[in-house]
Structure 1
């Protein structure tokens, strides 16, 4: 309307057969302007993936409501009263949407900075976790080296005193000293090594036979957070199911390798009899639990992959296929 006033001044409304109507050029200008605004709004919002803050939501909604009120009053004046609003009315009607767009851009920038801050904190936490992992690994290697120096003497004693309680106790002590070192996996990905070691230790505490055959060499396109989501949730679910079984039947097998242009990941575990295939949680606290499998699917689909679930007699298997770029 401001553009129309600039071109036609007081001739913006014409009389036809006694009726006051706006010039057709004004409708054309309004239509073009709205198409441009819609296109710009689409370009701004099509990749919008940030979580809107509550305060930003209130502010954006308030501006939007005021803009709608002025717009509807403008429509009422044109359709019901047959008159155009004054210049102040049109200035306010234009300024409010502009303010809404500026507020949206400000909120979007704030949310982007907030997300970057969270990513930064996550990276720092990952580095701290890796540093702690390497420190622990160095201590374990020192412990194994010290055991190695005494191993010859222990073997001499065991050879001279075969099949006695003393030799059995010595063998048990040696096994317990190197058990922690056996949990280290060499997957080809440092972050995945940490996850596998942590889950292996957790499984051992619960008397679960845990086996991991993972080859992640050359798989560098998956972000550490997604690796943690996929493997962490899958193994946690397997551990949870295994706890319900007798110790003799507790078994978890994790496999991952690249086959041609596909990354194949399989997590398999025994399940209690009568357990039905489901992607939902079986826990009572659904607000806290139940996000494992949906989060796995979301992380896998992020890389164009697919998840499938198979259940046979007493066995549950999660299969993941991810194309390698």
Structure 2
């Protein structure tokens, strides 16, 4: 019958190593060695160490200290992480392996069996095999739950948060070690009170950890927002500078035309014809200048149209923003600047004959409608996302555009079909500005 318990010990060790693997998978993103090596060494060495201490080296409850030190060392050796991150890995792994699994499992089964948890196997007093199985199932369940909750965890828990968590961990560890020491070293079977206290303290630790995780997420989001605001302000300053340049150029535009007339009236030589042609080409952009009714938007469109021409993109804009004066310049820059930049970025990936961008905007009944349309690739990635949906849609300012639209009570939607990507923005007109 003892062979059954040995088999259960081996199974339990495998599940514990899996828990350690899952925790490192969620928290340790940068490997020191080849990915497969860094991922497999920690759980493999952990399992071997636990196996040796279970069957060949009997040090009782003191094995816990060896396991804790081993988890920290393996994490630091195989991954490029901070020391406090390695402590988080160790604390969570230990919590799932011992307090939340063993202490909770034994407490539940002790209540179920009314304290009769021990049995005799080959003259040795040992926990009933049903309790072993229940604890192993709990460990496997916790491994699945933790992976589902933390697989996308990308935020660094700071050292001060780790210090607070470590205080809670020390409390859990102290009570848990007392229970384990009583069972393994002193042969005590009635550790129900200690196990219950351990379970409660473990739950407290988990709550604190989840709180720290949320704080880290909010801190990261705040930092991202600051970066985005700085980028938008930089973009706004750029277009303000461009607007001043355009005003200066417009002020000499008519003078340039007069100079051109004088040159053409002079002696008709090849030199004067060449100079006149050069001047005409230089002012051609201003002859075809897009007038939207909003000077700031005019500058943005001119800048983007020049960029599109440089990349051999057919760029067309049909915009009437006359009377649309409720949108702040910074938000105009966000909505049009980001939207057209995205379209240019996507068009560059296409053959030149397919590079087409259309921008339409104006009042439509009680709304301001903005439409930006471009051809795009329908290539599907291995994750099941299209090129646009994966990189373009999520990586180049769509979130900022949505925030700007929501600021005015509007919406920002995207669709992709038949090789075209369409961005649609609808902003409700303020009272008194609706189109009859």
Residue 78 (structure 1) aligns with:
111
The alpha carbon displacement at 1:99 in A equals 1.7
Q: Secondary structure at the match of 1:87?
A: helix
Residue 233 (structure 1) aligns with:
342
Which of 277, 300, 305 is the equivalent residue of 1:200? 305
Does the aligned pair in 1 maintain the 2:236–2:333 contact within 8 Å?
Answer: no
Note the 1:1-325 alignment, pairs <5 A.
55=85, 58=89, 61-62=92-93, 65=96, 66-69=98-101, 70-80=103-113, 82=115, 85-160=191-266, 166-176=272-282, 179=285, 188=294, 196-215=301-320, 217=324, 218=326, 230-241=339-350, 243-245=351-353, 251-261=356-366, 264-268=369-373, 278=378, 280=380, 290-293=390-393, 299=399, 306-311=413-418, 317-324=420-427
Q: Secondary structure at the match of 1:82?
A: coil
Q: 1:64, 1:288 → 2: CA distance?
A: 42
User: RMSD over aligned Cα, in angstroms?
Assistant: 4.6
Does the aligned pair in 1 maintain the 2:413–2:423 contact within 8 Å?
Answer: yes
Q: Secondary structure at the match of 2:378?
A: coil
Q: 2:284, 2:277 → 1: CA distance?
A: 11
Q: Deviations over 1:247-268 (max 9, x none)?
A: xx86432113342355544334
The alpha carbon displacement at 1:144 in A equals 4.0
Does the aligned pair in 1 maintain the 2:359–2:373 contact within 8 Å?
Answer: yes
Q: CA 1:141/1:323 → structure 2, altered by over 3 Å: closer, same or farther?
A: closer
Q: Secondary structure at the match of 1:267?
A: strand
The unaligned stretches of length 5 or more in structure 1 are 1-51, 272-276
Q: 2:362, 2:266 → 1: CA distance?
A: 46
Does the aligned pair in 2 maintain the 1:210–1:251 contact within 8 Å?
Answer: yes
Does the aligned pair in 2 maintain the 1:64–1:97 contact within 8 Å?
Answer: no
Q: Deviations over 1:186-239 (max 9, x none)?
A: 57595x667644432221213434222345634579797676554432343235
The alpha carbon displacement at 1:309 in A equals 3.9
Q: Deviations over 1:28-87 (max 9, x none)?
A: xxxxxxxxxxxxxxxxxxxxxxxx976498478447615532322322323356368543
Structure in which a larger fraction of residues adopt helix: 2
Q: Secondary structure at the match of 2:371?
A: strand
TM-score (norm 1): 0.58
TM-score (norm 2): 0.46
Count of matched residue pairs: 256
